Structure 1
Amino acid sequence: PLFSSSRHRDPGPVMADRVHPMQSPPHPASPLPPPDQEDAAAATAATETTPLHPTLYGPPAPPPGTYIVQIPKDQVLRVPPPDRASRYKSLAERPVRRRRLRRAFFGTCGAVLFLALAAAVFVGTVYLVFRPRAPAFSVASLSIRGLDVAALPPSSLSPELDVALRADNGANRKVGVDYRGAGEVAVSYSGARLAAGQWPAFHQAPRNVTVFSTTLRGTGVSFSDEQRKQLAAEQAARAVPLTVEARVPVRLRFGKVLRTWTVDVKATCQVTVDKLAGEAAAANRGCRVKVRPFLWWWW
């Protein structure tokens, strides 16, 4: 026989070997992780691959080879171009300017409102304490010369009048009146001024009545024919209407310290005299008092 040996045996029928796949053994340089770490890594991988909500994790990772340089926000310098620098400066300062203007506006309004309220409180207190009242005026007597048109030729006249005026401050118990200088008293008939003079300066105490006289003079007075006829008829009837106007600067005195500013007071009295020559009896028909400008509530 070709193959005969005591060392070899008949292999018998040939059977195919079944090969099972096996996991490659771990690399000796990388030790196996503990079981706990394996579970954590698996959970992390599952979380990374399937996020619960993609919007909670920011932007996606950049592609490989991309470098990201992060600079702190407070170190980012932004310089506008030269052609826009002035506009940028004006736009940057506009909010600050608006805030300043708004604060100044509201501060001014508050100061004005406070001053107005303080003035109202002060005026109300003064009124309640002193109770000021307007003095009364009247014409006590008139002495007329050079105005008898029936006895004089129809030419320009130069009349003279001595007027006695009565100023009554009896309604005020605590308020005095200072009549300043540069006042004027005038007498007119039917709108034509006859004569004018000065109002004397004096102080009138509370509850005081003062009667003073002043001389009024006029020049170049003339009447039309109709006015002469009317004046002659009224003189014959012993009822000649005249208008006495007085304009004088006045100051009020509250007590011994407090005083008001100076204002112009105008008193207009309508009187009727019985004759135009000599001492005439004056019948008062009422006086009206005004203040210009209107600064006293009680005038």
Structure 2
Amino acid sequence: MPTADRVHPTPALLPPSTPLHHDVAATETTPLHSTFRSTPPPPPGTYIVQIPKDQVLRVPPPDRARRYKKLAGCPARRRRLRHACCGAFGAVLLLVLLAAAFVGVVYLVFRPRAPSFSVAALSIRGLDAIALSSSSLSPQIDAAVRADNGANKKTGIDYRGGGEVTVSFSGERLATGQWPAFYQAPRNVTVFSTALTGKGVGFTEEKRKRLAAEHTAGAVPLTVETMVPVRMRFGKVLRTWTVDVKARCEVTVDKLADKATAPVNRGCRVKVRPLWWWW
């Protein structure tokens, strides 16, 4: 006789520890807060017009199209202008660096030096004891100037026209003459003579007495100044711009006469611009 399967009763589910009606009551009593703030009302006298999204114009109207195109193109134009300015600045900076490098190479190769000067002879007329008693003098001076380029082994000097030589006493100019134009080769010494003339030279009573006393003592201090435009020549092709070279020599002669002895040079100071001014 077949045996019937035994059916075991399922245990009843235990109710939750917290009553359901308590949650429902808590839900019902908890106030609901909106997550979005309400839009404040517009101020009086204003209107809000709402347009559907599909009706918003994405192309400006014809009467505003030209202005829109102009404003839209401004950033592009400013960008192109900025790029052009940066390119021009870079090109100028590159040229400056190349020029500085070129000058530096030339300086290292040729080692240019300023020439030196001295006064070899002075022949003075019109300033003797008789002429000193006159109120207006016209002295005449023959000056022999020595230009020395021995410090330059590879650099020649072009002395241009328009230079001058001046002789003065105690700040009073006595006579002025021209510096001749010539080319001076490297390691060369040139002595040239130039005629200086003065007109309407007058001394104060104090300077007149001092000049007469120094003439009697056999030691008359004079100042010889030169200003000559020159160009440095490197090799046969390369030359610099023309610049002014100034020299001031303090000399002493024994007498104010035609047959004065060689002047005693008490020092010459040469003033010339730096090399980078010559280019």
User: TM-score under structure 1 normalisation?
Assistant: 0.70
Whether 1:101 and 2:88 are equivalent positions in the alignment is no
Contact 2:103 2:276 in 1 (8 A): no
Q: Which ranges in structure 2 are unaligned for 5 or more consecutive residues?
A: 1-51
The 2-side partners of 1:134 and 1:298 are apart by 13
Whether 1:296 and 2:278 are equivalent positions in the alignment is no
The match for 1:77 among 38, 45, 59 is 59
Counterpart position of 1:170: 150
Matches within 5 A, 1:178-197: 178-197=158-177
Contact 1:181 1:199 in 2 (8 A): yes
CA spacing shift, 1:295–1:80, aligned 2, 3 Å: farther
The match for 1:128 among 108, 112, 120 is 108
Aligned length: 226
SS at match of 1:264: strand
Amino acid at match of 1:110: G
The match for 1:216 among 193, 196, 213 is 196
The 2-side partners of 1:191 and 1:274 are apart by 19
The match for 1:284 among 248, 251, 265 is 265
Which stretch shows the higher mean deviation, 149-158 or 221-230? 149-158
The 2-side partners of 1:194 and 1:114 are apart by 52
Whether 1:160 and 2:145 are equivalent positions in the alignment is no
CA spacing shift, 1:277–1:186, aligned 2, 3 Å: same
CA spacing shift, 1:187–1:69, aligned 2, 3 Å: closer
Counterpart position of 1:252: 232
Cα-Cα RMSD: 2.5
SS at match of 1:279: coil
SS at match of 1:101: helix
Cα-to-partner distance string for 1:56-112 (whole Å, 9 max, x where unaligned) = xxxxxxxxxxxx9969x9x94223645x954x4553232123212211221122112
Q: CA deviation at 1:241?
A: 1.2
Which stretch shows the higher mean deviation, 151-160 or 207-216? 151-160
SS at match of 1:140: strand
Contact 1:149 1:228 in 2 (8 A): no
Whether 1:112 and 2:87 are equivalent positions in the alignment is no
Counterpart position of 2:26: none
The 2-side partners of 1:181 and 1:220 are apart by 26
The 2-side partners of 1:69 and 1:157 are apart by 104
Contact 1:132 1:298 in 2 (8 A): no
The 2-side partners of 1:181 and 1:151 are apart by 33
SS at match of 2:192: strand
SS at match of 2:250: strand
CA spacing shift, 1:238–1:186, aligned 2, 3 Å: same
The match for 1:207 among 187, 211, 229 is 187
Contact 1:150 1:232 in 2 (8 A): no
Amino acid at match of 1:286: G
The 2-side partners of 1:69 and 1:244 are apart by 95
Contact 1:134 1:298 in 2 (8 A): no
Q: CA deviation at 1:150?
A: 5.0
The 1-side partners of 2:137 and 2:82 are apart by 68
Counterpart position of 1:60: none
The 2-side partners of 1:102 and 1:264 are apart by 42
User: Percent identity among equivalent residues?
Assistant: 69
The 2-side partners of 1:208 and 1:180 are apart by 17
Contact 2:131 2:137 in 1 (8 A): no
User: TM-score under structure 2 normalisation?
Assistant: 0.74
The 2-side partners of 1:188 and 1:120 are apart by 41
Q: CA deviation at 1:245?
A: 1.0
Contact 2:158 2:183 in 1 (8 A): yes
Counterpart position of 1:230: 210
The 2-side partners of 1:298 and 1:261 are apart by 8
The 1-side partners of 2:196 and 2:276 are apart by 32
Matches within 5 A, 1:257-276: 257-276=237-256
Matches within 5 A, 1:3-152: 76-79=58-61, 81-82=63-64, 85-86=66-67, 88-149=68-129, 151-152=131-132
CA spacing shift, 1:150–1:243, aligned 2, 3 Å: same
